[in-house]
Structure 1
Amino acid sequence: MDVKEKLYQKNLSMAKKGLLWGLMGGLLYGISPMFQTLGMGTEPLSSGAVLGLCAIPMIVGCLQDFSSGIWVLIPNLKNGKGREYIRSVKTKPGRFILLASFFGGLIAMAGFTLGVYFAGPVYPVAISATFPAIGAVLSRIFLKEKISGRGWCGILLCVAGAITVSWAPPSGDTYPNFYLGIACAVLASVGWSLEGIISCAGMDFVDPEIALGIRQFASGTMFLFVLPFVASGVNLKAFGLLFSTLPTMAFVFIAIAGFGAGIGYFYYYKCNNVCGASRGMSLNIIYTLVSAVLSVVFLGSAITATFIIGIIVLLSGAVMVVGKPSELLSLRDIR
C-alpha cells in the first residue's frame, strides 16, 4: 500500500468516525426536550407563567446552557485544557465561536424552549430539524461545501417533511399557542443553521471541546442579560424565579437536559469539524426521532398521522443529504 492509499484509508476512517459522532450527538440531544418539559411542569416553574409567556422558557434555556457548560468543563479540566477557554476567546476564531453562541444559544435555544413550552416536546422538535436544509444551502455559499443532486433532493424532503409534521396540530386545547410554538421552532432552525456554519469556521483553529465549552457559557451569560426583559415589565422577578429553581427537582430535570445537550453538542461539534457543517447538521436531526419516542412513551404526548408521515419523510431526506462516508473526504475542499 503506497503513501497516498494509506492517507486515503486514514481519512476514510476519520470520516466514518465523524458519522458515528454525528449519530451519537443526535441520540444524546434527543433526551433534552423531554426533561425540559418535565422541568417546566415542576414547581416553581410550573407556577411561573404569571411572569409572562417568555419567562419560563428563557429561564430554562439559561439554566440548561450553564448546566451543559459545566458538564463539558469537567472533562476539559481533567485533561488540563481549562486555560484554553481564555486563550481561545482572545483569538479571531474564538470570536467566531462567540458569534455562533449568539445564534445557536440566545436565538435558537430561546426559540426551541419557547417552542416546547407553547407546542409540547414533539412538534417543535421536528420543525427545528429543518436546520440542516438551511445549513446546507449556507454551507454551499459560505464554506464552499459540495452538495450532490441527491443531497439537494434530501434537503427538499427535509422541508416537505417539516411542513407535513406541522400541518395538523394535536387535538384538544392542551396547547392553545401551538402555531406560535411552531414559529418559535422555525426561529430555532434558522439560528442553529447559522451556528453550524459559523462554529465550523471557528473550529478550524479551536478544538471542538473548547469551542463547545465557550459556546455554552457564553450562551448562558447572554440569557442572564435578557432575563430582566422577559418578565411582565422590566424587573428582576425572572432572576428570583431562576434562583428559587436551583434547589428543586425542576433544576434536576433541567440539569439532565443540560447533560444530554452538552455531551450531544460535544459529538455534534466533533462531527462538524470532520464531516463539514451540512453533513453534521443532517446527522444530528436523529434527535427528532429519539425525542418523539421518549415523549410518547414517558409523557403520553399525542401525535397525528401527518406527524408520522412527516417525520418519515424528514428523516429520509436527512439520510439522502448525508451520503456515503467516502464522499466526506472531499466535502470541505475549497474550490
Structure 2
Amino acid sequence: MAQTLVMGNPAAVAAKNKLAADFRKKGIIIALLSGLLYGFYTAFMTLGMSLGIWVEWYGENSGLSAFAVMFLLSAIGAATTDTCSAIWAMSIAKARGRFGDFVRCIKTKPGLVMVAAAVIGGPLASTAYVVGLQQAGSIVVPISALCPAVGAILGKFLFKQQLNARMMLGISICFFASFLIGSTGLGEDAPANLLVGILFGFIAAICWGIEGCVCGYGTSMIDPEVGITIRQVTAGVSNLIILVPLFGIISGVDAFGMVAQSFTDMNALPWFILAGLSAYLTFMFWYKGNAMSGAALGMSCNGTFSFWGPFCCWIVLGVLFGFEGWSMPPIAWAAAVIMVIGIFIIAMNPMDLFKKKNGGAHEAA
C-alpha cells in the first residue's frame, strides 16, 4: 500500500530516487577511500621498514645472509603490520560490542573458510608483496593489482563462475598494462632486482586472487565487520607462527628476537601502527563501499589502488622523507591508469552506469 502511494506521487518518487542516488554516491566515495588507504598502508609499512633497527638490518654489516634480507625481513615487516592491524581490528570490535561475534564465528565452517583464505592472503601474499616492494619499489603495486583479474580466472575454474567476453577484455587490458610495467625493467638504468620484484608482485596477485575467491563464500554468511576481524587476526598470527620461524630457521638467526626488536623500535613502530590501521580501514571501506554502491562498482573503485599505491609511496617516501627510488617512469604511471580501466571493465559493464543514470532520470520524470 505504501509502495503504491509512493509510486503515485511524483514528488515522493523523485525524493526516493534522490535518496538512492545519494546513498550510491556515498558508497562510491567510501570505496574510493579504500583504494587510497591501501596506498597509505603500502607507504607507511615501507617507511617503517626504512627506519630505526631496519636500517641496521638492511645495512652491509648486518651479518644477515642474502636470503634473510630478502625473505626473513619481508616476513617480519608483513607480520609487524598485520599484527598491528589485528590489534586495531580486535580493539574496534570490542569497542563496538562485536568481539563476542568474532569469537563465535571463527569456530564455524564459514569462519574456518575465512581463516584458510587469510593464511593464503596473509603470510603468503603479504610477504611476497613486501619482497616485491623491497626489490622493485612502488612499481610492484600495479602488478599486485592484477588480483581481480586472477580472481575472475580462478572463479571460472574453481566455482564455475561466468567469464564473458567483456570480462576477458578487461583481463586482457590488465595483463597488457602489467606488460607495460614489466617493460620498464628492460632498460639499462633499471634496478638489478626489478624483474625479481615484479615476479613476487605476480605471486602476491595470485595469492590475493585465491583469497578473494574463497572469501566470497565466507563473507556471504558472516557480517563483513566480523569477517574482516577474522581475516586480520589470522593474517597477523599466521605470519608470526609460520613464515617468520621458518625463514629464521633457514637463515640460522633468532627470528623471534628480531620480531621483538621490530615491535619495540620507537622510530619505526609508529609507522607500522599507522600501516596496520590503514590496512584495517581499507578492507572495512571496501566491504562497506561494495554494500552501498554494488559489489561490481565497489571493486572497480577499490582497484584504483594500482594508481594510489605508487602515488602515496612517492609522496610519503620520496617527497616528505626524501628517500630515492620511489618515482615511477611515465609509462608505468600510464599503465597503472590503464589497469584501473581494465579492473573496471572486469567488474561491470561501463554502459550500466549510463543506463542507471538515465533510468533514474526517467523514473523521476
TM-score above 0.5, yes or no: yes
The number of residues matched between the two structures is: 326
Residues 4 and 216 of structure 1: is their aligned pair in 2 closer, same or farther, counting only changes over 3 Å? farther
Deviations 1:75-132 (A, max 9, x none): 2112211111110011111011101101211111111111111111x11101001111
Where in structure 2 are the equivalents of 1:121-200 lying within 5 Å?
122-142=138-158, 149-169=165-185, 175-200=191-216
Aligned-residue offset at 1:276: 7.4
- Partners of 2:195 and 2:20 lie apart in 1 by 44
Asked if structure 1 preserves the Cα contact closer than 8 Å seen for 2:33 and 2:285, the reply is yes
Determine if contact 2:125/2:208 at 8 Å carries over to the other structure. yes
The answer to whether residue 88 in structure 2 is matched with residue 71 in structure 1 is yes
TM-align CA RMSD: 3.1
How far off its partner does 1:73 sit?
A: 2.2
Q: Aligned residue for 2:285?
A: 267
How far apart in 2 are the matches of 1:144 and 1:273? 24
**Secondary structure at the counterpart of residue 328 of structure 2:** coil
Matched, 1:302 2:327: yes
Select which of 258, 270, 276 maps to 1:252.
270
What percent identity do the matched residue pairs reach? 26
The letter of the residue matching 2:146 is T
Q: Is the 8 A contact 1:98 1:215 kept in 2?
A: yes
How far 1:312 moved relative to its partner?
A: 2.5
1:24 equivalent in alignment to 2:33: yes
Q: Is the 8 A contact 2:297 2:344 kept in 1?
A: no
Which residue of 122, 127, 134 corresponds with 1:117? 134
Give the secondary structure class of the aligned counterpart of 2:225.
helix
Q: What's the secondary structure of 1:176's corresponding residue?
A: coil
Contact 1:16 1:325 in 2 (8 A): no
| 1:206-229 alpha-carbon deviations (Å, 9 max, x no partner) | 111111111111111111122122
Other structure's SS at 1:166 match: helix
Name the residue aligned to 2:53.
Answer: 44
The equivalent of 1:292 in structure 2 is: 310
Letter of the aligned partner of 1:294 in structure 2?
C
Further displaced range: 191-200 or 224-233? 224-233
Question: Which amino acid in the other structure matches residue 339 of structure 2?
Answer: L
CA distance in 2, matches of 1:159, 1:171: 20
Q: Which residue number in structure 1 is paired with residue 120 of structure 2?
A: 103
TM-score by length of 2: 0.79
Residue 72 of structure 2 is matched in structure 1 by 55
The answer to whether the 8 A contact 2:80-2:262 is kept is: no
Alpha-carbon distance change, 4 to 237 in structure 1, aligned in 2, over 3 angstroms: farther
Q: Tell me how far apart the structure 2 counterparts of residues 102 and 327 of structure 1 sit (CA, whole Å).
A: 40
Contact map agreement 1:12 1:325 (CA 8 A) in 2: no
SS at match of 2:250: coil
SS at match of 1:90: coil
Q: Note closer, same or farther for the CA distance 1:327–1:196 as it changes in structure 2 (3 Å cut).
A: farther
> 2:184·2:190 contact (CA, 8 Å) conserved in 1?
no
**Against the structure 1 CA distance between its residues 95 and 173, is the aligned structure 2 distance closer, same or farther, given a 3 Å change threshold?**
same
Work out the CA distance in 1 between the residues paired with 2:51 and 2:175.
Answer: 34
TM-score (norm 1): 0.85
1:231 maps to which residue? 248
SS in 1 for 2:204: helix
- Stretches of structure 2 that go unaligned for 5 or more consecutive residues are 8-12, 59-63, 319-325, 357-365
**Given the superposition, is the C-alpha separation of residues 174 and 250 from structure 1 closer, same or farther in structure 2, using an over 3 Å criterion?**
farther
Deviation at 1:41, TM superposition (A): 1.2
| Compared CA separation, residues 185 and 15, structure 1 to 2 (3 A) | same
- Aligned to 1:168, what secondary structure does the other structure show? helix
Is the 8 Å Cα contact of residues 306 and 337 (structure 2) preserved in structure 1?
no
Unaligned residue ranges in structure 1 (runs of 5+)? 329-335
CA distance in 2, matches of 1:3, 1:206: 36
For 1:31-53, what per-residue CA distance to the aligned partner results, in whole angstroms no more than 9, with x for missing partners?
12211221111121222242512
Rg (Cα) greater in structure: 2
How far 1:261 sits from its partner (Å)? 0.9
Q: Distance in 1 between matches of 2:127 and 2:5?
A: 49
Shift of 1:137: 2.6
Q: Quote how far apart the aligned CAs of 1:194 are.
A: 1.2
Q: Is the 8 A contact 2:41 2:274 kept in 1?
A: yes
Offset from partner CA, 1:257-307 (integer Å, 9 cap, x none): 111111001122334567777655443221121122222234332322321
Per-residue deviation, 1:202 = 0.5
Checking the alignment, whether the CA contact within 8 Å between 2:132 and 2:199 is kept in structure 1 is: yes
2:110 aligned with 1:93: yes
Whole-Å separation in 2 of the counterparts to 1:48 and 1:242? 12
Question: Which residue of 257, 260, 264 corresponds with 1:240?
Answer: 257
